[in-house]
Each structure stands twice: as structure tokens, then as C-alpha cells.
Structure 1
């Protein structure tokens, strides 16, 4: 038996190829295109959004400092493309107000509006977007130079050749395909996936009056979950949960499942069998939590599941091995870098066990250096998003949406410099890139 695909292949040529249309991919593609480059974006779904939309994470986290000071309003410290995209959501009525999230704040967004905002920005910039395209191979010359990728489309195989390729897949897929070094989690262990879901029919006024404005549910709710679970009435593996009011009336966004394998393992979305198991188990848990909310939480008496993520929410898979490494210690010490190209004030969130652990960085932020997005070897490839070069706990802070926008913004400018000046990405000075970003409202030196 011979494996065949007799459809004629298609060919494209561009300056920059971006693989993946999540927050980092959209930011990188729009940024590079606005610098006058010919950009192609390949996205496996029929829409952009990545974990924020397909995974239904539903929030823009990482814009604001955390603080213990009472009565302090949110202080925004992340700007640039993140601020631009948030403004686009707000203009379309797709962004909620800043909500309390423990010691910081976040915004809930409408996932449909997210898609539309991305569509508009990409079209305006002139990016050639090819949806429903799954990258199957990297084009590698001499084991060192990346010259694009091959994708599967309904039309047939597609080869895209580019001067610079940006891996914004979230899973470092292009790096792995190219044979460049990647690593994963804590000795291979990664943080568990979560199936996020939405419920409607909620009396949100009664809900907020009972449980307060903080989206992290109070200890009384955690105790109620633990008690119900211990009595065998429900199967609720995680006791500390997050429930957010949304831009839609009568709706809550629910981040509460803890998806493990049947054997108790943390599942890894880079393994086909694990990812398939996570999807099914995630939907089962969503139903169980929704039933518990309906039967036990004030305001949820008439609630019902509106939707689950198109895919299970993935927190961590492969990390690219970069020329720099964001270390665990950098987070809580608020480390700054002369070649820092992104800020993050977000805490370390380790979602493991019945109660996720949150370690806060207060009244400060840390910076991520450019080298965390440049492969330690090879030419013609950059990467962006949650697959940045970072240690296990550092990823648990650095992976969130506002930061992924910032990474894409920086890498898009790096790609533009590389193409226009005919210079390899690893030869670009991070401090020079920082200057360019500040010229485009990143405000890294404010």
C-alpha cells in the first residue's frame, strides 16, 4: 500500500511566514505587515484566537500590577500591541470592565468579538491569512536554515517559502519539526489542561452579592465543593475555582476543571492520545461542575451550559530552547533586562492538585529578554507565545494573553529588521529592538 495525495501542490512566497493565529501570531503578523513586508499567516482553525478563543480562556490577563494596598485602582504597565488589541475589543463592545482577580485585575472578552477584531487588524495590514491549514513539515536547508513550511489544506498540500518563519503555534511545533532543541515542563511533567466553559441563565446580581466581586471564589465555596466531593455526590477534582461575569447578561465564564488521565497522570497535549483523553474528560467535568453550580450556588438555580472550549485549554507543552532563558527566580524578584522586550506583572499560577498555587509579584513587574524567542541554533526562525524559552514556574506566569501580544509585537519587529536589513535574527541587539518597540507605544522605559 502506498500513501498518496494526487492533488497538485500549491506554492507561495513571502517575506514572513507566521504559523499560528493566537495572540502572539496575530501580533507578529500585523506588526511585520505594517512594516511593509509580505506576510502569510497559517491557522489550523477557521478563526484566529488560539487559547483565548478556541480554548475559551476568555480573559486578557497580564495588563495590571498586583498590589496588597487597599483601595488602589488597577495600574496598567503593559502597553503596545496588547493595548491596541484591547482597545479594538472595547470599541466593538467585546471587553468587560477590569475585574478583581485576587491581588490584580483582568478583563473578560467576548470570543466572537476577539475573532472579528483579529480579522479586521489582519485585513487592514494586508496579511494573507490561510485558515484551516495545518502545518505538517518545516522546510530546512542544510539542517540549519529554515525556509518556510508545508501545510495541509482542503485544496491540497501547500508549500510556503519565507525569509523568516515565526513559530507561534504555542507548542513549538516548527522547532520540533526542524530538529531544534525543545524541552518540556518540570522533568517532562506539565501543568494539567483545563476545559473552560460558560453557563447562562445566571442571576449575576444575586451571585455577586453572595460571593463578592473577586473572580477567585471565596473559601466558603471551596469548602462546599470539598464537602460535596467527599460525600460522593459529585466528581469535582479541583476545589479552588474562578468564576467571571462576562460581557453577556446572565453568563459566567467558568475556569474550574482539573483534567487528569484515568491513571492520575498530568496529560500532555503534545501526545495525541493524551489530548484526546483530555477533551472527553474535560467535557464530563464541565457537566459535573455545572450541575454542582445549579444545585448549590446562589444565582445559578436556573443556569445551564452554554458552551465549552473548541478544544481543551492548554497551559504548557514544549518550550523552545532559546539564546536566553527566563528563570523562575526572575519572576518574583522583578528582574529587568537591558534587552527586555516585554513586561509582565502576572503571578506564578501553578495549576496542580485540588488548589492551584498563586505566587504574587507585588507593585512591580519583570522583563523578558529578546533571546527567549531566538533559537539557540539555526537561522531564519523565531518563536513567540507560551512556548518561549523559560523554566517551568516562569512559564506559569509568562504564558498569559497580554504578554503573548507583547512577544508577538517584538518578534514581528525583529522579523522586519531581519528582512529589511538582511541580518540574521540572532544578530539583532535586544536593546535596539526595545528602542523600536518604544517608538510603537510599548512604553518599556516609562
Structure 2
């Protein structure tokens, strides 16, 4: 049966704002892009559909992966901080506010990530709006992007819907940081739906009233502990702040988790007697740009929280009196629309630590480590071309919408990589606006020099 349709009435859409740089999406890459653009002199607007910022950083991540190379997995390798600049400033600001114990060495599981950077999501939300305000970014919350404004192939802004109605925001340069490539999709950029590629959607939650030391001792004794990190927590200087264990090694948990593709759990503990964030849930397969499927996944994930919490209480000493004290606002999605850009990083290039003349970020973490690791504790470069979507001008992208190969994407989609690409795209957009050039005509050497002067690390 053909789907019914209606004709909408013609309308005149009011222009809410005009700006030099419009950043769409206030998740992981977007705030960094907006800060970078504004600091480089651009009149900048950041649009976000929710009432707070953070996206996957606060809905799915238990730590920021990763600022450093995987040096601990390669004896004798030099420790290098690969991502600096604005992402590091955010860590410093959270630390000063008591929301991050800094970059901490993994004591177990360091062949997955040598350094753990855990943080308090609530403190991040406040820190990031302070940094945006200080940079002069105009923030537009509670606004959903529903279309683009185009002149031929040139993107000139977006249309948003909100409680205020339908409005336009116009810009010289636009950056798509929506995660699902909403702007690029509406602009006609070719893309592939990769939602169901081997990885489901998840949802983080918190557990209170946990005796974490007792649990860690039992897990270690039974050979189930695979990650642990100690650091400052409340008034304790050497407390457990990150712990991961093999739930599949506990028969009752394995029986429930394995058929659902659930892993871990991998957790963070930022306050005494709690697991602040637990990452273990999975709904799969889910086409996360199909609202019906995503709705079903949300229901399934919340039911999983109830069952997993009960199983922890019954089978893991230290969890007997645990209860759920919060859940994320929505399911965390890892992969949906992947765009066709001017360059597509391959898995071989990532694992071989390939460098590029036009690289605008370095990165050294892979989420499948130790099965897949960048060789010799090295780093690969992300070329500026990878941020330029095809069939569109005056549009850049930053975040998890790049890299078509699934295993390659298991590196580039991670939070700290997205933050680094945010700084690159925001800086580039500001330079494009100031010099009245399109992104493809921007002098990449000028961009690279500006990134380095602003604190980013590009080797050397």
C-alpha cells in the first residue's frame, strides 16, 4: 500500500540569526568546533536539539578515549599526548571544578588503553557552556535541524523547528556535527546507512550503594577483572575510579548477556559507594535513523537495566544492595549515516600509522585493541579532505559521520578523535569566513599553522 501524504501550506520562514560560522550539533565535536571558530574571530552560532550539551560523551561514554598513544602495550615506547588544544582545556577546566581526576594510567587492561580520562558528566555540562560563553558563541538550544538552506551546491544555513516555530539560521560556513549527518543529508551529500553494521546501540546508567572494593577483590580473585584504574575520588587520593570486568565469566550473567551482544561491563566510579556510569547494554540490530526501531531499542535497553541490576545484586559480591540512581537521556548510537567525503581513511592506513600532508589531527586509539592496534604505539593522521563532504560547498563535517570501513570507524568515531576534528573544522571554518574562500580552496598549511598555534599537536 502506498504511504499517504499531505500537502503543506506555503510559508515564509523568519530568519532567526545570521552568522559567520554555524555549528550544528552540540555533542562531542560541536562545542569544540564552536569554541575554535569563535576564538578565531568568527561570529559563531551553535545549535543543539536538547537542553544541555555533550551528546555521546554523556549518553554513552564512560571515559574519554583517548588523548594518548597506546604506549603501555609496546614496552619501551614513548608516551605521547596526541590530542591537546581545546580538548585538553576542557579536561583542565573539569579538573579545576572537581569533575575529572586527570589522565590516569591503566593498571590492568593497558593493552586496550594506556590512559583513562574519566569525568563527571554534570560538571562537563556546566564547564562547556562557560567556555562557549567566554568565547562569545551564541547558543541555540531546544532546536531541531529539519532542512538546509542552499543556493545550488552551496550550503547557506539550516532550518530549525522549536517551540518558537520554524526558523532559519544563515551562515557563511556550516559545520555538521550532528553525528547522524542530518545537515549533510539534507544538503544532498551521498551517504550510506551503516546503522546495522555489527554494533548495536547502548545506554549508560548509574548504580548507587555499591561496595566497590569488595567487588573488585572478588572479581580479581576469580580472574574476572580486566580493567582497573585508581585516582582521586571525593576526599580519597587512591580510590578505584574505573573498573571493567568479564560478565560472561559469571554463568548467570553470560546466559543473559551473550545472546544480546552485551559486553563488559565497563564502568566509572567518581563518588564513593557508586558506579557513576555503567556501560554494558546492547540492542542489536537497530537502524538508528528509523524512529520506530530506535523507539523499540529504547524500551529494550531500559528493560535490560532492570535485569542486569538484579543479576549484579544476586551474583556479584558488593552489589547486594545496589540500586539504579540515574539513566542517560537516550540511547547512544555509534554509527548511522556515513558520508562520502573527499577522502576516506582505510583500516590499513589507521593501523599502519599513516601520515598525510594535509592532516589536521593525530590519533592513536582503536576500540578493538588489543585485537587491532596502531602499530608501534604510533598515531595516524586525519587529512583535512576527510572532513569535506562531496556535492556540497561551504560545508564541513566533524564527528562519527566519516570513515566507511567498519573497523576503521571503530577508531575515528571515538570521543577524543571527534573533539580533535571539532577543533580542526571550527578553525578551518573561521579561516574560510575571514578569507572569503570555500573549504576546498582553503590554504591547508595556513590551517595547520593556526591549529598548532592554538595548542593542537600535529607531530614534530
Length-normalised TM-score, structure 2: 0.87
- 2:266 aligns with 243
- 2:166 aligns with 157
- 1:360 aligns with 373
- 2:411 aligns with 397
Give secondary structure in 1 for the equivalent of 2:156: strand
CA contact (8 A) 1:152 1:158 kept: yes
Q: CA deviation at 1:94?
A: 1.0
Indicate which of 42, 49, 52 corresponds to 1:44.
49
CA displacement, residues 31-88 of structure 1 (integer Å, 9 cap, x when unaligned): 11111111111100001111112x1423111112223256999642221221111111
Give the unaligned 5+ runs of structure 2: 1-5, 220-224, 229-241
Give secondary structure in 1 for the equivalent of 2:260: coil
- 1:320 aligns with 339
Give secondary structure in 1 for the equivalent of 2:429: helix
CA contact (8 A) 2:248 2:254 kept: no
CA contact (8 A) 2:352 2:380 kept: yes
- 1:64 aligns with 68
1-structure distance, mates of 2:27, 2:141: 12
1-structure distance, mates of 2:333, 2:96: 29
The alignment status of 1:122 with 2:132, answered yes or no, reads yes
Indicate which of 168, 185, 188 corresponds to 2:194.
185
CA contact (8 A) 2:66 2:415 kept: yes
Length-normalised TM-score, structure 1: 0.89
Q: CA deviation at 1:327?
A: 0.8
Indicate which of 305, 309, 317 corresponds to 2:324.
305
CA contact (8 A) 1:137 1:150 kept: yes
CA displacement, residues 221-258 of structure 1 (integer Å, 9 cap, x when unaligned): 4221x45544x7x8873453033232222222211112
CA contact (8 A) 1:190 1:268 kept: no
Give secondary structure in 1 for the equivalent of 2:310: helix
CA displacement, residues 285-343 of structure 1 (integer Å, 9 cap, x when unaligned): 12211111111112211111112210101111112211111111112111111211111
Give secondary structure in 2 for the equivalent of 1:108: coil
Give secondary structure in 2 for the equivalent of 1:23: coil
- 1:198 aligns with 206
1:71–1:200 distance in 2 versus 1, CA, 3 Å = farther
2-structure distance, mates of 1:40, 1:347: 32
1-structure distance, mates of 2:364, 2:385: 20
Give the unaligned 5+ runs of structure 1: 261-265, 351-356
Query: Number of residues paired by the alignment?
Result: 428
CA contact (8 A) 2:31 2:128 kept: yes
Give secondary structure in 1 for the equivalent of 2:124: helix
1-structure distance, mates of 2:399, 2:248: 32
C-alpha RMSD over aligned residues: 2.5
CA displacement, residues 333-369 of structure 1 (integer Å, 9 cap, x when unaligned): 111112111111111439xxxxxx8522251111111
- 1:208 aligns with 216
Q: CA deviation at 1:200?
A: 1.2
The alignment status of 1:419 with 2:442, answered yes or no, reads no
Indicate which of 276, 279, 282 corresponds to 1:255.
279
CA contact (8 A) 1:135 1:150 kept: yes
Q: CA deviation at 1:390?
A: 4.0
- 1:343 aligns with 362
